[in-house]
Structure 1
Amino acid sequence: MNHAVFVVKVVDKPVHLNFKEYKTIEIKVQFPILRQKDSRSELTLLLWGDYRNDFLKYYKVQDYLIIQGTLTLKGYENGENKPKVIVKRIYPFLLA
């Protein structure tokens, strides 16, 4: 498994998706600091269930989050090959 933990910043509003009977959201996020010039700085988060509802209720664009999830490169539509994280846990991250 590709279990991962990241600190990310929400950069775009969530996109609502319907996948079979599940209601999911897809959120574009980026890493706060780039480590290398040629590295990718954006990820897409996939959330459903209680995490979807909590995100819509408590978080907004420009918030920082700690996320735990499974990293995948598999595209769900159009054969796209972008990194995505299927979120298992989500926490707020406060910067002082």
Structure 2
Amino acid sequence: MNHALFIVKVVKPPIHLMFKDYETIEIKVEFPISRQKNSKNEIILLLWGDHREDFLKYYKVQDYLLIEGIVTLNVNNKKINVTVKKLYPFLLV
């Protein structure tokens, strides 16, 4: 299974999407520090339900998050998507 935990930084405001009867948001985030110069450090989070409402209510661009979710790879666009199962605020001092 592609289950993972990440600490990420929100870099762009959410984009609202509609799938059948479900409202979701798509958020572009990046890892705080890239380890290699040529490594890709941006991923896209997909949130719906309570996670979507909580994100819109409490979080904004430049916030750090600890996310737990399922990783998928979009081969056509070469983008990494994470369907969020749990979402927590993260503080870097």
Query: TM-score range, shorter-chain basis?
Result: over 0.9
1:6 partner letter? F
Distance 1:9 1:57 in 2: 17
Under a length normalisation based on structure 1, what TM-score does the superposition of the two structures give?
0.93
Identity of aligned residues (%): 66
Residue 16 (structure 1) aligns with: 16
Question: Which position in structure 2 is the counterpart of 1:86?
Answer: 83
Give, as a single letter, the amino acid of the residue that structure 1 aligns with 2:60. Answer: K
Q: TM-score, normalised by structure 2?
A: 0.96
Q: Secondary structure at the match of 1:83?
A: strand
Supply the AA of the counterpart residue of 1:31: F
User: 3-state SS of the aligned residue for 1:46?
Assistant: strand
RMSD across aligned positions (CA): 1.1
Matched, 1:52 2:49: no
Question: Structure 1: how far apart are the matches of 2:78 and 2:19?
Answer: 18
Q: Structure 1 residue 81: deviation in Å?
A: 3.4
The runs of 5 or more residues in structure 1 that have no matched partner are none
Number of aligned positions between the proteins? 93
Deviation string 1:28-65 (CA, Å, 9 cap, x unpaired) is: 00000001111101000000000000000000000000
Q: Can you give the 5+ residue segments of structure 2 that lack an aligned partner in the other structure? A: none
| Structure ranking higher in strand proportion | 2
